[in-house]
A and B are shown apart, each in its own frame.
Chain A
Amino acid sequence: MDPVYLDNNATTRTDPRVVETMLPFFTEQFGNASSMHAFGAQVGDALGKARKQLQALLGAEFDHEIVYTSGGTEADNAAILSALETQVGRDEIITSAVEHPAVLSLLAHLEKIGRAKVHIIGVDSMGRLDMEAFSEALSPATAIVSIMWANNETGTIFPVEQLAGLAHRVGALFHTDAVQAVGKLPIDLSSSQIDMLSLSGHKLHGPKGIGALYVRKGVRFRPLIRGGHQERGRRAGTENVPGIIGLGKAAELALEYMAEEQTRVAALRDRLEKGLLQRIGNSFVTGDPSSRLPNTSNVAFEYIEGEAILLLMNREGIAASSGSACTSGSLEPSHVLRAMNVPYTAAHGAIRFSFSRENTDTDVDRVIEAMPPIIERLREMSPFWRERDKQAAGFNPTYA
């Protein structure tokens, strides 16, 4: 039986058409774009085309607003560190409690070494940003606001355009980690106020190890990585040519499939959720159903633990992921679900299903069929299951 892959927020399969586009750049066209000969020139042309393809996906006004990086993590680091350097006299940073570690770990470090004061804005039980706290945190000392476009665990979408506007009122820069949004949501940066935006190739059927930071024209920037003069001096190091070409092709395909993502993929996701909630009691969907990525579903199964669920799913050939402590090597359950105050009874048993355009109706049928016995089996083993009424007193799922 074919495996069912529903962990596309972790990474996607590189589209075969992307691989095909990349291959010549390992073999015939291996030149360095900076070289002064035909090998270099060929590559230079291809890089220019790839840049245009990514520009189109982002709706950016200028192609040189794109700075290629090694991925989302580097783009996040580059954006925040640059802002601290260019925003002289400002040393406060505002972020949300549900960011990816690429942002949160960096900010914790900056705070630890006394380089910045960090305001972490909380979320409500659906993962929506506390707008009041956000507005209060803004001040003339704010160097940068870094708030993700869409959450990787729950899919909840933040109102980034509105947040960017508020940030600008106090003269702060606005950066968004759009790693999960790019390729899944229509984006038009030319009509946006966002100053910087991070994206990553491997989340949109592109290759791993390539990403980009969009830096709006006119926004001052200091490179994270210094050396040669690639990327107009904004990111040194010989270009990852196959990666950039692959990201370009992936961007072109993402644009082509954008409508499908909003319709067919979203419908698959919805059917899965409905099927699971109908068949499995004491389970509920986390996140904001009214403002969510079309491909993401995070379902919490109460009284059981996520890693155990994933191991049993894996045996059925189904791949998903869990915010459970046990899978991550940390001992606390997902910081995202904790920030949303999802009760411990459920946070440990939350499973994220994330779709892509490669998923089918059969995948959904398989999961709907496989999950109930898995959940039941673990619940039968759990000492809390039979005593749940005592445990669950006062607990109300956000929606079911």
Chain B
Amino acid sequence: MWEYSEKVKDYFFNPKNSGVLEGADGVGDVGAISCGDALRLMIKVDEPTQTITDARFQTFGCGSAIASSSALTEIIIGKTIDEALRISNQDIADFLGGLPPEKMHCSVMGYEALQAAVANYRGETWVDDHEEGALICKCFGIDEAMIERTVRSNGLTKVEEITNFTKAGGGCSTCAEGIEGVLERVNAEMVAEGVLAPEMAFNPQAYVRPVKEKKVVPLETVLAAAPQPEPEVRPEPAPSPAAMTTLQKIRLIEETIEQIRPSLQRDGGDCELIDVDGNRVMVRLTGACVGCHLSSATIEGVQARLVEAVGVPLLVVPATPMH
């Protein structure tokens, strides 16, 4: 569940100014049904004073889209056109007591609808900056100018932030590279203008983009490159006891136990080497072996195998199971 502020909930459950505004002087449509949200803003303007006297909205979208639309109408009613045009998407979010980051695009939609409605009132076609620059995100129809404006007005420095604010890159994510390019350029300009600290700016060198290559590497290559978690059991001839170092002895004990384990595992048990202290070999028996009447027999069996393999007298002792 999203963490919506009380004000967002209130504007969703009791939206103000929803519905059609008959005889509107300006209408702005943004979004599309395929995007999952769309907004139509309708305004009435008092000609002599250039004041917005009424505003209504129709919205297809989630709770915060409806709340943002309604908030927008509340914010702009009573304002002059010039005042209204200075409202940013952040102002809409602030009015609502904040929006979850993933929902910031709802406030951007409000901002755009207002621009579109005013342009429509003035008899202009809104310079829809979705068509101004190159289309970056095809899934959501977001272009370069839109990303640039959102980066600038919100001081964004991360690709994920751009996705949260504009949706760009939130679909197939093939445009990740394009978004990075815009972010890098705009952040650099902002640094040059002195509005962004250089260390805050997006740094493509430090950013690792998820690779989307579809290359099949042969299994052997992968296995060879991967660290080997389990030591190979190599059946080497036992060195003569006299020539054997302590290390060699321990290795040999280890290897022998590894060879015994499969037969224990078949019966639902297992045996693990804990320590070697001189000729005392500490093992832990687990699974079905524990508490089994035959566990002493198993210990003896392990001991016999070890003595045979290592060629020196050994005493196998069970370690207390600990968990």
Contacts and interface: CB of A to CB of B under 8 A. Distances in A.
Interface stretch (B81-89, B206-214, B241-249, B252-260): B206-214
Contacts of B61: 305, 308, 326
Interface stretch (B10-18, B124-132, B190-198): B10-18
B216 A114 contact: yes
A238 B270 contact: no
A271 interface: no
Interface stretch (A30-38, A70-78, A181-189, A287-295): A30-38
Interface stretch (A149-157, A162-170, A379-387): A379-387
Given A112-B211, A112-B213, A381 B59 contact: yes
Contacts of A303: 33, 60
A32 B323 contact: yes
A162 B68 CA distance: 51
Contact of A238 (B9, B140, B323): B323
A59 B36 CA distance: 44
Contacts of A304: 60
B309 interface: no
Interface stretch (B115-123, B275-283, B285-293): B285-293
A324 B29 contact: no
Interface stretch (B37-45, B71-79, B180-188, B298-306): B37-45
B153 interface: no
B58 interface: yes
Given A348-B33, A391-B33, A382 B216 contact: no
Interface residues of A, number: 50
Interface string B212-228: 11111111001000000
Interface in A126-158: none
A344 interface: yes
A112 B212 contact: yes
A380 B36 contact: no
Nearest to A302: B33
Contacts of B33: 303, 344-345, 348, 384, 391
Interface string A98-121: 000000000000011011110000
B219 A89 contact: yes
A331 interface: yes
Given A34-B286, A332-B139, A383-B58, A311 B34 contact: no
Nearest to B323: A32
B219 A40 contact: no
Given A311-B63, A348-B36, A232 B287 contact: yes
Nearest to B60: A382
Nearest to B41: A383
Interface residues of B, number: 55
B13 A381 contact: no
B237 interface: no
Contact of B12 (A89, A228, A308, A383): A308
A305 B216 contact: no
A267 to B, nearest CB: 31
B113 to A, nearest CB: 11
User: Which of A330, A381, A391 counts the most B-chain CB atoms under 10 A from its CB?
Assistant: A381
B310 interface: no
B151 interface: no
Given A305-B36, A331-B140, A348-B36, A233 B15 contact: no
B270 A331 contact: no
B170 interface: yes
Contacts of A370: none
Interface of B: 2, 9, 12-13, 15, 18-19, 29, 33-34, 36-40, 58-63, 65-66, 102-103, 139-140, 163, 167, 170-171, 210-219, 222, 229, 265, 268-270, 272, 286-287, 290-291, 320-321, 323
14 contacts: A41-B291, A111-B214, A117-B214, A232-B265, A312-B13, A325-B36, A326-B37, A326-B103, A327-B62, A333-B36, A380-B18, A381-B18, A382-B60, A383-B40
Interface of A: 32, 34-36, 40-41, 64, 88-89, 91, 111-112, 114-117, 226, 228-230, 232-233, 238, 303-308, 311-312, 315, 324-327, 329-333, 344-345, 348, 380-384, 391
